[in-house]
Structure 1
Amino acid sequence: MSIAAPTAQAASDAAPRRLDPSKVAYQRPQPVGMVPDIFLNGALSLGEDDPHWVLQAENVWFKPLVLNVTQGFYVNILKVQKAGVLSRHRHFGPVHAFTLKGSWHYLEHDWVAREGDYVFEPPGETHTLVVPDDADGMITLFHVTGGYSYVDPQGEALGYEDVFTKLEAARRHFEAVGLGAGYVDQFVR
């Protein structure tokens, strides 16, 4: 009696399958002490009924994405639904801005940020934020490190904003809209 040799197909079916290592999730633990990531489904939702929009001033709202109290920065989306001067301020740290909708500019510069534009603002810069009359408001993602002082035209301090003032405003807002003051904790790192 003779036994036939297995066909190439039968041999390959019997062999253990090797996984493509590029498609295998990382198998080791994350670093000790690492803070959890943040995932916000619908973060760019611009709906008026979205309870995440925190009123900052008349016709001006911000939506917190990250409030990093340990490194002193915050990331938020600023929504302005009016033309005019918003504020004059001096930055303590760098700022990154990405315009999502509308347009805005600074009186101290000759550029206008429009949808899809990126702006870097260096530490120490003082500028006056304006939404032009011909704009239907603006929506811009800002990553602000440090904070800033509101100033008059001569640079005299009038007030300030930082991650802690943003955190407090968001905490009060979420409590007022029924989400609870602790709702803001998901944004805090």
Structure 2
Amino acid sequence: MAEINRHLRFQKPILLASGSPRRLDLLQKMDIEVRQIKLDYHENIEPDWALEEIAELLAVQKWAQALPNLRNNEILVTADTIVIHNDQVLTKPKDAEEAHQFLLAMSDQSHVVMTGIKIGNREFASSFTDTTKVTFSPLSEKDIQYYIQHYSPFDKAGGYGIQEWIGWTYIHSIEGSFSNVMGLPTQKIHQWLSQYAE
């Protein structure tokens, strides 16, 4: 069978310095050629960082580590997503108990998802944060356990994926970018590429 050539919106490919399959899928669905690498990165959140700065500053840290892998014709993208609830950062849960605690705390309440981005090449780069407000309807104990047992809360900030079962059944409202909650604000990425990478 002959290989089907994909339409590509931009001539310059992206180097995605993230192991996230969701970020890779989002970029590919934007008709962008992507090369993906996974960093051996350990988050280092400084105590004096403001909550609204954390995601962007982590993306900047990742950028510095990823830059040596960048080829001349590529655009480098690094990202970090955090969930903030009641002025607390909810990281990726370390186990089922912590995932349960996160989901129970967010039940029938709103939280904020922030994704920090750094994008560019060796000559020019930009960094920014995109913010989305997400509100859960009341989560039942039975369905919290169901989600933890059947889906993948442990590799996601806040312990849930909006694109998974819990997002289709318990998200009451969302203000802002849906893709941002998945880990990449695609509209802002496209806007940047349209301005600087055509």
TM-score between both structures, scaled by the size of structure 2: 0.24
More strand by share: 1
TM-score between both structures, scaled by the size of structure 1: 0.25
- In terms of Rg, which structure is larger? 1
More helix by share: 2
